[in-house]
Structure 1
Amino acid sequence: MSLKPFGAAALNQPLIGQPGGRSRLETPAAVLDLDIFERNIARLAQTCKRAGIAFRPHAKSHKCAEIARRQMAAGASGICCAKPGELLALFEGGANDLMLSAPIASAAKIDALARAAARGARIGVVVDRLNLVAAYAEAASRHGTRFDVFVDLDTGLRRSGVASAQEAVALACAVTDQASLRYVGVQAYQGRVQHIEGFAARRSANNKANRLLTAMLDVLKQAGLAPGIVSGGGTGSHLLDGQAQVLTEVQPGSYVFMDEAYNPVDIYGAGGPEFGPALRVAVTVVGHSSAGFAITDGGSKSFAPDGPPPRVFLGGALVGRIEWCGDEFGRILPEPGYGTLPIGTVVECTVPHCDPTINLHDFLHVVSEGRLVALWSIEARGRAD
C-alpha cells in the first residue's frame, strides 16, 4: 500500500512531469535516477543469468515495495529482508515472496510472520538453533500455514549461523521432522568479503569462505540433506559467486543504488564499480557561512554519515564535497575552479552508505533526465524491528 505524499514529497508532487522539475525540488529529498537504476537492475540480472545463478536481492538497501516488484520482474527468485518489521511492511506494500535472512528471538514477531503467511505471503526464514525451529513450527502449525526454512551457516562472518557440519545436519533434520516447515536450503553470508576493494584479494577471501561452505555441504549431502538452495553473497561478490558455482543464488542489495563506500570496489575486475550511483540526496543552499562556504539543508538526518563524504553535483558537474556541520546542515567544500554556490541552488549529492540513508526518507523522488516522473513510497522506512 503506497503512502500518500506528505512533507517535501507533497510539495514536490505538482512537479511530476514538468520540464526542469528535477532542479526545483523541495529538499532534502531522496532522488532516484530512473535510467541509472534500470541499468543497474538489468546488469545484475544479466550477469546472474549468464552464470546460471539465481538472485534474491536484499531489501535492506531500499525498503521499497515498488523496487521489490521491479526486481522480481527482472527475474529475482524472491526478496530478502533483514528484520520482521521490514518484511511485513513490504508484504503490506504488495511484495509476496520474502525471506527473513536473520534469526530472531521474539515469539510475538514469529507469530506476526505466521499470520502473514496464513494471509498468503510466501515466507522463508533462517534457523541457527533447535528452539527456533520449534518456535517457527509451532506458530506455523497454529495458524495453518507453512514456512520455508534455511539452515544458517557461519563461514567466517561470526554473526549468526552454525559453524559445524554436525550442527547443520541436526538443524536440517529437526526442520524435516516438522510438517509445518519446509527444508529448502541453507544460507551462508560472508559480509566481510563484499567491500574488499581489490578484485584478486576479494576472490581469495571469497574462496576461503567457499571452502568452509563446501565442507559443510558435503556432510549435509552425505546425510541425505543436500540443500536445494544455497543462498548468500552480495553486491561485492556476486560475479565471483557465479564463477565459483558453490552458491545457487546471491543476495545483492546495494547494487540498485550504490554509494561512496562501494565506489572503490572493483566488482568485475575491470577497474570500476560497474553499477552507477542511482541514489542521490537533493539539498538546497540555504545560507553562506562567515568563512564563505555554502551551507545546505542536509546533515546527518538526511545522510547516514558512515562512509566517505558525498560528492556534490550541479547539472551533472562535480562541484564539491559535503562536510558535515550538524544534524541538519552540511557545508560544501568546492572543487577547484568553483566558488560559493548562490543561496537557493539545489544540488544532488551521492550518499556515504545507501542502506541507512534510505532509512531516513519516506519517499523516493524518481527522476529521468530533467523531470520528476514519480514518487515511490519507502514502506519499510524506519522498520528496524
Structure 2
Amino acid sequence: MESWSKEYENLLPRGTFIQGLAKLRDTLPNQIHAKFDEHVRCMVRDLSTEVGKMLHNLHEKKHSITQVQKVIRAFPSSLLCLNHKAWIPIQSCAQSVESVRFVPLLADEAMLYNVNGRNGRGGLKMKYSTIVHTPNVLQVLCQMKSMDKSSAVDRTYTEVLKILQSKKLLKSKDLNKYNLLHASCDIACKSRFEFLLKWNKKKLKENHCEEPFIHSTITSKTNGPGSFALTLSKTIKYFPRDLGLLFQMNDRKETTFDVAVQFYGKEKTFQIIKECIPASKKLPILHHVIRAVPEYLNDFAIRYPSSIYRRDENGRLFHHLALECGVSLLNNPMMILQMSDATVEECDPVTGLLPFMIAASSQENDLSTCYHLLRRSPSSIPPL
C-alpha cells in the first residue's frame, strides 16, 4: 500500500503533525533545515502510509470516531492512500458494515482537504474503477447487502445515508443523477429504499433506462421478484388510484402486469400481487383490469370477487365500465345475466346513460345485449 494520489504533496503541509514539526524547524539553525526537511518528509510519508492502511481496515469495535478524526488531521494525506485495488479509504469503508459508519467522517475530513475535488464530495462520488457502469461510493452505500440479506446491515447503511443527508453530502439530485432509488430497490435494502423514496415519491412514476421504473424492477438482471414486490407495495401505498401502477404501460403498450407475467409466469405474478394488494383493500381492481388487460378479467375476478361491487373514484359501477369496454351477451353472457335489478336501472354517473344505452353506444355494441338490458328495465323508457 504505497501508492499515492498526485494531491499528496499539497496535503502534507496541512496536517497537525507536520505543523508541529514546522514550529520545531523554526527554532533550528538554518544549516540543518535541508537535512531536517528530508528526514521529516520520509517520516511523514511512512507514518501516513501506516495511517492509510489503518483507514482501509477500520472496524467500529476497534476504532472510535474521535480517534480516527485525530489521526486523519495529523496525517491528512492518508485519505488518499491507495490499496491494492487502487481504492482510497472511503471506498474501502463503504464496502463493509463494520466500517461503513466511518464514511461520513472520512467524507467530512476529505472535504476539508479537497480530496477528489470539492465537487467530488469528499470521495463519495468517486467510482471504483474506470469501467463503464462501475458504481461510485454513494451507489454502493445504497445497494450494499450481506450474504444473508440481514436487516441489521440495511439499517446500518440507512443510518449512514441519513447522516450524509444531514451534512448535505447526500442530495435529492443524486437520486436522478446516480439512480440511487433503483440501486436500493432490493428486499435486502428495503430501509434505504423507503428512506430515499420519502424524498421524491414521484420517481416511481418516472422512467428508468427508457422504461417505467416499476418495469425496470422486473426486467433488470440484478433484481428478482422481491424488487418488484417491494416497488409494487410502495406504489400501492402512494398511488392507490392508479392501482400501484400495475397497469402502467411502456412504449410497446405492455402493462406492468404483462411484463411481470413474461418474466415470472402468471401464478408467481398473482402471488406477488395478492401479497401487495390483499382482498381486504377496498380498491376497484376489476375496473382497471377491464380497461388494461381484459383477457385476464376472469383470473382477477376469481382472486378479487368482491371488487365487482366496488365503485371507482367517479362513483362508477364495474358493469358501467364493462359495458363501455364492449362486454356483451356474446363474449361474456354470465356477467350480463348476473347484473342485479338495481344495477340495470342505475345511470352511469360519468356518462349519464343507463346500462342499455351504454351497451348501445359502445363501439362493439350488440343488439341482443341492449335488448336484454332494456327488457330488464322497461320503466327506464319514458312514456310516449
* TM interval, short-chain normalised: under 0.3
- Higher helix proportion (structure 1 or 2): 2
Taking structure 2 as the reference length, the TM-score comes to 0.24
Q: Please report the TM-score for the alignment, with normalisation by the length of structure 1.
A: 0.24
